[in-house]
Amino acid sequence: MAVLSWDIEKGSGSMTRPSWAPEGIDLDRPSASRVYDYFVGGMHNFEIDRTLARQIEAFTPNVAETMRANRDLLRRCVRFLVDAGITQFLDIGSGIPTVGNVHEVAQARNPSARVVYVDIDPVAVAHSRAILDGNPAAAVVNADIAAPDTILADPQVAKLLDFDKPVAVLLLGVLHFVPDDADPAAAVARLRDTVAPGSYLAITHATLDGQPTEVLEAQKLSGRTSTEIVLRTKPEIATFFDGWTLLDPGLVHLPLWRPDNPADVGDHPESSGAYGALAHKA
Ligand SMILES: C[S@@+](CC[C@H](N)C(=O)[O-])C[C@H]1O[C@@H](n2cnc3c(N)ncnc32)[C@H](O)[C@@H]1O
């Protein structure tokens, strides 16, 4: 595993660019992946990301808890999928890899598991590339989920994933960054029609359902990144699973999805502000 250094280089903008950040990124604009990295305790974020995160937190004090609940669901879900016999993962909107990433969880359980990460953010991609150096069973692609044909045609995807066999498609915390006019439902349907019977689809998605109205202020703040959040209702999120069969317990608040321990659910799982589900293609 390659380790990224923390040397500071002079950036072209008003901030300095650490050596782990690729050239050409906009240092004066926060990014969704780095704000998420901050919330889940990662170290690959800038002051501009932390400032936005703190402003969002002022409106939604439980936001870090929701994001950690999302990350916890990811790990439970990947363990479930490996135990169900899945050896191929397409993780779109994969983010900046932090400990307990998909390939770590999957390959710890089955060393032959193969993982392709996809993200729109060059920082997330650069990090993933460095972390995956020397891992022939995992790769990363810089692409937009709204362009699924670009993802499916990517040589790394073709090299590592066999779409004639079951694949787990992970869309965790990403579809709420895709506005309706970019037609996220069509992208999800394209993936559904590509994968073999026996495949799985996992989605987590932010919602306003049951949330205080202050969350709308936080949602507006997310527009300072290049990917503003779209909060969808439970029925709207459920439509992404058209053509799939939802597994128990269905589409639920994140802590309620197959908790390892009932104590992990807490007293108010609905305060997580996001839903998650796993579905199967017959
Ligand atoms: C909240 S993070 C989720 C990371 C990881 N999937 C998880 O659940 O822990 C969302 C990621 O989606 C990425 N993203 C946002 N819009 C995207 C798009 N249109 N296509 C691909 N990735 C996107 C962001 O760059 C960010 O890294």
CA of residue 263 to ligand 1 center, whole Å: 29
Q: What pLDDT shows up at residue 103?
A: 96
Q: What is the pLDDT of residues 54-82, one digit of tens each?
A: 999 988 888 889 999 999 999 999 999 99
User: Which mutation among 38, 102, 177 tests ligand 1's pocket best, with the greatest number of atoms within 8 A of CB?
Assistant: 177
Q: What is the pLDDT of residue 1?
A: 23
**103 burial type by CB count under 10 A (0-12 exposed, 13-18 middle, 19+ buried):** buried
Query: What is the average per-residue pLDDT within 221-236?
Result: 84
CA of 93 to the centre of ligand 1 (A): 3
Q: Write down all domains in the chain, each with its CATH number in brackets.
A: 65-211+231-280 (3.40.50.150)
* Ligand 1 centroid distance, CA of 174 (Å): 4
**Contacts of 264 by beta carbon, 8 Å cutoff, 6+ apart:** 72, 255
List, for residues 113-138, the tens digit of each pLDDT value: 999 999 998 888 988 898 898 999 99
Question: According to the model, what pLDDT value does residue 15 have?
Answer: 59
The pLDDT-based confidence of 6 (bands split at 50, 70, 90) is very low
Both tokens assigned to 29: 């604009």
Neighbours of 89 (CB within 10 A): 28
Query: Which residues line ligand 1 at a C-beta cut-off of 6 Å?
Result: 32-33, 36, 70-71, 74, 92-95, 118-121, 124, 144-146, 172-174, 177-178, 227
